Structure 1
Amino acid sequence: MSQRTVTSVVGGARLNGFHFRVLGLCSLLMIIDGYDMVSYGTVIAHLMDEWGMDPVTAGTLGSMALVGMLVGGMGVAPLADRFGRRPVMITCVAVASLAALGCAFTTGPGQLGALRFVVGVALGALVPNFNAMAGEFAPKNSRALFVTLVSSFYSVGGIGAAVFAIYAEPVWTWRGVFVLAGLPLLLVPVLLRYLPESPEHLAARGDRARLLAVLRRIDPHGDHTDVVVEPKAAADKAPLRRLFARGNVLNNALIWVFFAMCMLLSYGLNTWLPELMQTAGYPLGSALWNLVVLNLGGMVGAVFGGWLADRWNYRGTLVMYFGAASVSLVGLSFDPNAAVLNALLFVAGAATVGVLAIIHAFAVEFYPAGVRSTGVGWAAGVGRIGAIGGPTLGGALLALELPFQQNFIAVAVPGVIGAIAVAVVARRKFRLPASPPAAEAAAN
């Protein structure tokens, strides 16, 4: 009897209700991330007035969650390669929810910054793991679509934060925005009951009983007694070192660059777009609706990008998206009329927030199973340097009181840098070191 790998079983399975359950749970987790990250941008004007903060201080405070995401992505996310995605993800949801709820009761920038940092650590570990999980449960021909579909729900969370701020903030003040951010704590019992463990992690641990139970849910009609299950070798327990083996240094550096450029664009716009639009003469309510349009574009752009990457390739899709981001942002600098403004904001959202979903799908596909949480976690973590720079750069630009046009031209530059990095790295493949088991090398 021929032997099969976990990857071949999952990749060849037909979609069923179990796939959509996993997809739904991962999408809910992405909504939490989107709401938490965009929520600060919806309250920043009120915080500046109430606490007397200047734009640079407000931008630095906005970066605290992103600093936390860097720490979480690089320091906590890789724990899933050892202990499993499920326990890490559930713990992160609980911690992020409690810290976000605490933000509602803060009385100054220091307290808010500390709690936002904790939120960021939890989300920084959560995001790469549920993105990896979405890819690990997806059939081969739908992998990019699965990951980008999950990532598109970042925009659902962002839209929810903006709409909630428009209608509820006048009644419940900015504190109500953070109270809502604590409600995902109620999701923890649901995750404990329904969230499965990654089949590739179970195979690597040699946990055949649990693995077969998951595979029967993925492919109910198959006979999985021939599936190869081999525990990781001892040398396999240092996945960080493996990221840089056999000439992979350039691969990782380029992936980190376009993660950073993408996050600079996405988080910078989501934090400062309302304030930038107010400097151009738009009222706050209208400026918040611009944030809704931006994230609607992000949702559509993410799903379309996943569909396109599955049928075309990652390199062309990502270069096209980074290029569209730069062109649309330069177009915004010409202060267009309302119809053109909204069209450009939609394209900018599709290309900046949307590309964030596609780069996660690319990373999930690029890194082999044994280093996937580490590779995606470090890429997302180092990318947070760009995310941290986004709010800080926006605050610095506003403090300089530059003309409206120059602000958007400056923000367009990272799109060009990202496109160049993608064009180089997407021509290369990750090289596995000789030490991993042959089964894992064959599976990837």
Structure 2
Amino acid sequence: MSQHTAGAVVGAARLNGFHYKVLALCSLLMVVDGYDMVSYGTVIAHLMDEWHMDPVTAGTLGSVALVGMLVGGLFVSPLADRHGRRPLMISCVTIASIASFGCAFATGPEQLGVLRFVVGVSLGALVPNFNALAGEIAPRRAKALFVTLVSSFYSVGGIGAAVFAIHIEPLWTWRGVFYVAGLPLLLVPLLLRHLPESPDYLAARGDRERLLVVLRRIAPEREDLDEVVLEERPQQARARLRQLFAGGNALNNVLIWVFFAMCMLLSYGLNTWLPKLMQTAGYPLGSALWNLVVLNLGGMVGAIVGGWLADQWTYRGTLVLYFVLASASLIGLSFNPNSVVLNALLFVAGAATVGVLAIIHAFAVEYYPAEVRSTGVGWAAGIGRIGAIGGPTLGGALLALELPFQQNFIAVAVPGVIGAIAVAIVAKKKFQVPEPAPAQ
């Protein structure tokens, strides 16, 4: 029988229960991320009243978790390239759940800010790794769909945060939203029992015994797995930032960082400030929170459709289309339309802003090879957090300026234009893996 690599086995595998189980676990982790990130937006109006915060302070507090995500994406996520995705993911979801639950007991902005920072660091390291794992266990024909399907569950978490806020806040005040945020601790036993290690990581590390265990679950129909060839790359597995810029990759890396930042600015800015923006425009808070539900429903649909479209068409074309739709729908919202048109535009805005978040992660997982994937995706997501940090801060600044309703949404549409331009410029060539640096 001919020899083959682990990547070839995974790419040619038929979908089975193992794929769906890992997909479900990664999707549940994305629900955790979505809930934790959107939860602050659902309580911000109450916190401003209770703690007498002005919009700029509230926006800055909203950005603290995103600063944490920046730190987690840049400095904690790449540890998976050395120690594996599985232990990092389990540790991060444990810490994030405990810190999120602790937010319910905060007595002021300083305490809440510290806890939200810890949540952000944990999620910033967690998200790139479960997105990468979803792509690494997927058959070749379904890679983009797997990653975008997982990413679409961010919207499920966001919807959950808004729905819980509507029903829980009247009973348990805003603290009830954070009580619920501790429930993901219940996932830890499931992850310990069922979450596999990345086959790409095991192959790169030369861990043949553990690799074969995973491959037999991915492709149980194969009888020739004992002949899998390991391409050990120990030096590349210890990826450093300079490898992302070697071999002519610098321009693409910078452009990828730009459209990650623009995408996250749109997504996190809207999820933080949409209820307050709508309340300022004269909508009651309950109705404004339902607008958040519509936005995230659109995000879920947009992510799944985008994954299918990227597999059928190209990532590049799909991303340009989504960024253009994001800007167009936000400009449409600036005209303060009637309720039917408003909800339609919010749905499209969610599909194109929250939804594009899923597609850019799928693009990054596909673009970066296994030996630098956690570093590449982690840095792209981490630098993208600069945009995420800017989203809540920009929203707070806009509200503080007391601009007309129309101008707020027109200002928010600008990042979509920048993102579309950055994607359009990205070259079509693949990442060029540089020669390993000599051991020091």
1:106-162: CA deviation from partner (whole Å, max 9, x where unpaired): 100000000000000000000000000000000001000000000000000000000
* Alpha carbons 1:142, 1:310 under 8 Å: kept: yes
Map 1:315-334 onto structure 2 (within 5 A).
315-334=316-335
Distance 1:219 1:346 in 2: 39
TM-superposed deviation, 1:251: 1.1
* Divergent runs of 4+, >4 A: none
1:26 aligns with 2:26: yes
- List per-residue Cα deviations over 1:352-373 (Å, max 9, x = no partner): 0000000000000000000000
Percent identity (aligned): 80
Q: Which residue of 2 aligns with 1:442?
A: none
TM-score normalised over the length of structure 1: 0.97
1:255 maps to what in 2? 256
Shift of 1:236: 4.5
* Structure 1 residue 426: Cα displacement: 4.6
Contact 1:239–1:370 (Cα < 8 Å) also in 2: no
In structure 2, distance between residues paired with 1:36 and 1:238: 30
Q: Which residue of 1 aligns with 2:402?
A: 401
Contact 2:131 / 2:147 at 8 angstroms: preserved in 1?
Answer: yes
Tell me the distance in 2 between the aligned counterparts of 1:186 and 1:17.
22
Name the SS of the counterpart of 1:88 in structure 2.
helix
Shift, 1:235, TM fit: 5.5
Contact 1:10 1:218 (8 Å CA) reproduced? yes
- 2:30/2:151 contact within 8 Å kept: yes
CA–CA distance in structure 2, aligned partners of residues 220 and 32 of structure 1: 31
Partner residue, 1:112: 112
State the alpha-carbon separation in 2 of the partners of residues 410 and 266 from structure 1: 14
Q: Is the 1:315–1:426 Cα contact (8 Å) retained in structure 2?
A: no
Q: Secondary structure at the match of 2:174?
A: helix
Q: Aligned letter for 1:186?
A: L
Post-superposition offset of 1:60? 0.1
Q: Which moved more, 1:329-338 or 1:227-236?
A: 227-236
Q: Any conservation in 2 of the 1:236–1:435 contact (CA below 8 Å)? A: no
Aligned residue in 1 for 2:304: 303
Report the CA distance between 1:239 and its aligned residue: 3.4
Question: What is the match of residue 186 of structure 1?
Answer: 186
Q: Is the 8 A contact 2:239 2:371 kept in 1?
A: no
TM-score, length basis structure 2: 0.98
Aligned to 1:392: 393
Query: Which residue identity lines up with residue 125 of structure 2 in the other structure?
Result: A
Aligned to 1:91: 91
The answer to whether the 8 Å contact 1:132/1:373 transfers is yes
Deviation at 1:434, TM superposition (A): 2.4
Q: Which runs of 5+ in 1 are unaligned?
A: 437-444
How do 1:132-151 residues align onto structure 2 when only pairs under 5 Å count? 132-151=132-151
Tell whether the 8 Å contact from 1:262 to 1:386 is kept in structure 2 after alignment. yes
Aligned 8 A contact 1:260 1:387 in 2 = yes
Task: List aligned pairs for 1:47-58, cutoff 5 A.
Answer: 47-58=47-58
Question: What is the match of residue 420 of structure 2?
Answer: 419
The answer to whether structure 1 residue 224 and structure 2 residue 205 are counterparts is no
Aligned position for 2:238 = 237
User: Structure 2: how far apart are the matches of 1:343 and 1:305?
Assistant: 18
Q: Distance in 2 between matches of 1:151 and 1:342?
A: 23
Q: 1:394 to 1:298 in 2, by over 3 A?
A: same
Q: How many angstroms does 1:237 deviate by? A: 1.9
Q: What displacement does 1:429 show?
A: 2.2
**1:58-207 equivalent positions in 2, closer than 5 A:** 58-207=58-207
Q: Deviations over 1:279-330 (max 9, x none)?
A: 1100000000000000000000000000000000001100000000000000
Q: Is the 8 A contact 2:149 2:307 kept in 1?
A: yes
Whole-Å separation in 1 of the counterparts to 2:206 and 2:108:
50
Superposed displacement of residue 226, structure 1: 1.6
Q: Say if 2:291 is the partner of 1:290.
A: yes
Aligned partner of 1:41 in structure 2 is 41
Aligned length: 437
**Within the alignment, does 1:353 sit opposite 2:354 as a pair?**
yes
- Listed one character per residue, the Cα deviations across residues 175-229 of structure 1 (whole Å, up to 9, x for unaligned) are 1101110111111111000000000111111111111111010000102112111
Distance 1:246 1:221 in 2: 39
* Structure 1 contact 314–426 (Cα < 8 Å) conserved: no
* CA apart distance, 1:252: 0.8
**C-alpha distance in 2, partners of 1:361/1:426?**
17
Residue pair 2:82, 2:237 contacting (<8 A) in 1 also:
no
**CA distance, structure 2, for counterparts of residue 248 and residue 209 of structure 1:** 34
- In 2, distance between residues paired with 1:305 and 1:17? 24
**Is the 2:205–2:237 contact (alpha carbons within 8 Å) kept by the matching residues of 1?**
no
Question: Hey, what's the Cα distance between the residues in 2 that align with 1:6 and 1:238?
Answer: 20
Question: How far does residue 234 in structure 1 lie from its aligned partner after superposition?
Answer: 3.2
Conserved in 1, the CA contact under 8 Å of 2:275 and 2:291?
Answer: yes
Residue deviations 1:353-396, cap 9 Å, x none? 00000000000000000000000000000000000000000000
